[in-house]
Chains A and B, each alone.
Chain A
Amino acid sequence: MKLYNMKLLTITCEILAQTNVIDILHKHHVSGYTFYEVSGNGSKGIRGQGFQNEKNVKIEVILQDKKLSDVLEEIARTMFPDYTIITYVSDIDVVRIEKFS
Chain B
Amino acid sequence: MEILELVQANLLTPVVLFFIFGVIAARIKSDLKIPDAISEFLPIYLLAAIGLHGGLEMRKTGFESMLVPLLVAVGLSVLMTLYHYQILRNLGKFNIFDSYALASTYGAVGAVTFSVGLSFLKNQGIASEGYITAILAVLEPIAFILAIFLTNMAVSKQTQIKKQAFTKKDNADVLEINTQQETKLFQVLRESITGKAIVILLGSILIGYAIDTDGFAPIKIVFEDLFIGAIAIFLIEMGIIAGHRLDDIKKGGVFLIGFALAMPTINGIIGVLIATYLGLSIGGAVMYGLLFASASFIAAPAVLRHTIPQAKPSLYITSALGITFPYIIMVLLPVMLILSTAFHNMELMNFGYLVENLK
Contacts and interface: CB of A to CB of B under 8 A. Distances in A.
Interface of A: 14, 16-17, 19-20, 49-54, 81-83
B310 A54 contact: no
How many of chain B's residues touch chain A, expressed as a range?
10 to 19
A14 B306 contact: no
B170 interface: no
24 contacts: A16-B301, A16-B302, A16-B305, A16-B306, A17-B305, A20-B306, A49-B241, A49-B244, A50-B240, A50-B241, A50-B244, A51-B241, A51-B301, A51-B317, A52-B36, A52-B39, A52-B40, A53-B298, A53-B301, A54-B301, A54-B313, A54-B317, A81-B310, A83-B309
B29 to A, nearest CB: 12
B349 to A, nearest CB: 47
Contacts of A14: 305
Interface string B294-335: 000010011001100110010001000000000000000000
A3 B317 CA distance: 49
4 A-B pairs with least C-beta separation:
A82-B309, A16-B305, A50-B241, A53-B301
A82 B307 CA distance: 11
Given A14-B305, A52-B40, 14 more contacts: A16-B301, A16-B305, A16-B306, A19-B306, A20-B306, A49-B241, A49-B244, A50-B244, A51-B298, A52-B39, A53-B298, A53-B301, A54-B313, A54-B317
B96 to A, nearest CB: 14
Contacts of A50: 240-241, 244
Contact of A53 (B240, B244, B302): B302
A81 B298 CA distance: 24
Nearest to B97: A82
A83 B304 CA distance: 12
A50 B322 CA distance: 13
Interface string B216-247: 00000000000000000000000011001000
A17 B302 CA distance: 10
Contacts of A54: 301, 313, 317
A63 B6 CA distance: 64
Contacts of B305: 14, 16-17, 53
A11 to B, nearest CB: 16
Contacts of A82: 309-310
Nearest to A55: B36
Nearest to A83: B309
A78 to B, nearest CB: 9
Contacts of B36: 52
A16 B299 CA distance: 12
A83 B309 CA distance: 7
Nearest to B305: A16
A37 to B, nearest CB: 9
A97 B310 CA distance: 39
Interface centre among A17, A20, A52 (most CB of B within 10 A): A52
A81 B309 CA distance: 9
A53 B313 CA distance: 11
Contacts of A51: 241, 298, 301, 317
